Amino acid sequence: MLLTLLAAATMAYGAEAAKVGWTKSTEVFQGEVVEIKVSGNDLIAVEGRMGKEKIYFFPKGSHVFTALVGADVEAKPGLAKLFLTLTSYGGAEQRREIALKVKAKAFHTESFSVPPSFDQMSPETLEEVRREQAAFARVFAAPVRDRLWEGPFLRPVTHEASAASFGSRRIINGMPRSPHSGTDLAAPMGTEVMASNHGRVVLVGNFFFAGGSIVLDHGGGLFTMYFHLSELKAEEGAMVKKGDVIALSGATGRVTGPHLHWGARLANARVDPLALVNKTSNESAQAQGAKSVPSKMEIEHGTERSAQ
């Protein structure tokens, strides 16, 4: 009798432990962001890995874990796999995988010219560029593990006009270059630049390409970047809140005019920060049971472009 009961209990427990729901497959365009969900009654942790990148999951309500996953602007279209390790109460581990279909996006091609001095690099300039690359690589290599961000990401400047330039394939002085890995927002000289979300200031500096720059680490592998700034108002290591003024916009670095270059990086994928704004705004609208109203960006093909 007792044995039977124990067996029944074990079976019930086993059945319970196996009951996991998850996003089995999803699609994402190059440079965009999707949310992955995993749920299970006795899950206490979810870990993800895609290639060599760690994908951070965070609890959302009870028994649900979510992660934002992005496809790099130059990700190869096709199937990618996201591997999950689910830990249940009592320590039992289960593995799952998610098929992530990366879809090609039609990006604009734009041609523009910069002064030849930016193009023909002296050894001193090359050294500066190396210093710039190393500084960024250093911060991306050591993300804050905990999630610091909350709710929707904000546009860092309040101007309506924005150049829909993310991902554009660029031809500079007649030569094809790496794609534009951010969105350029219209911002007259000296416009206040706000932190898009809560985070830690992990880089404040002046660089050859990016000019006056600030990088915020929002935790869980998510960073936002603000370039070509004229004044830096945040200190490395400081914690900032969403909406805090961290800088004034400018035209420093390799630019042809004042604007804010705004970039985002998610598990080392270069993604469109406006995709992050839309994704997180929809999220919170859904959470409140409200209808989501994605803001329509005014598309403006200006002549001012940064080379970032």
**Residue 224 binding Zn ion, by CB under 5 A:** no
Of the two residues 198 and 261, which places its CB atom closer to Zn ion in the complex? 261
In this structure, the number of other CB atoms found within 10 A of the CB of residue 73 comes to: 24
**Residue 272 binding Zn ion, by CB under 5 A:** no
Helix (H) or strand (E) holding 230, with range, is strand 222-232
Of the two residues 110 and 128, which places its CB atom closer to Zn ion in the complex? 110
Of the two residues 30 and 308, which places its CB atom closer to Zn ion in the complex? 308
Smallest distance, Zn ion to C-beta of residue 224, A: 13
One of 32, 72, 132, 184 touching Zn ion (CB under 5 A): 184
Look-up: residue for tokens 């999630």?
147
In angstroms, rounded to a whole number, what is the distance separating the alpha carbons of residues 203 and 163? 25
The interface region with Zn ion, picked from 3-11, 195-203, 271-279, 299-307 by CB under 5 A, is 299-307
**Residue 261 binding Zn ion, by CB under 5 A:** yes
In this structure, the number of other CB atoms found within 10 A of the CB of residue 58 comes to: 15
Of the two residues 184 and 272, which places its CB atom closer to Zn ion in the complex? 184
**Residue 308 binding Zn ion, by CB under 5 A:** yes
Q: Determine contact, residues 249/216, Cβ cutoff 8 Å.
A: no
* Strand arrangement, sheet containing 78-88: 25-29, 93-103, 78-88, 43-50, 53-56
Smallest distance, Zn ion to C-beta of residue 308, A: 4
Question: DSSP assignment of 104-157, as one string?
Answer: -----EEEE---HHHHS--HHHHHHHHHHHHHHHHHHTS--SS----SPPPPSS
**Residue 170 binding Zn ion, by CB under 5 A:** no
Of the two residues 199 and 253, which places its CB atom closer to Zn ion in the complex? 253
Smallest distance, Zn ion to C-beta of residue 142, A: 25
One of 30, 196, 281, 306 touching Zn ion (CB under 5 A): 306
In this structure, the number of other CB atoms found within 10 A of the CB of residue 118 comes to: 18
Footprint of Zn ion on this chain (CB under 5 A)? Answer: 182, 184, 261, 306, 308
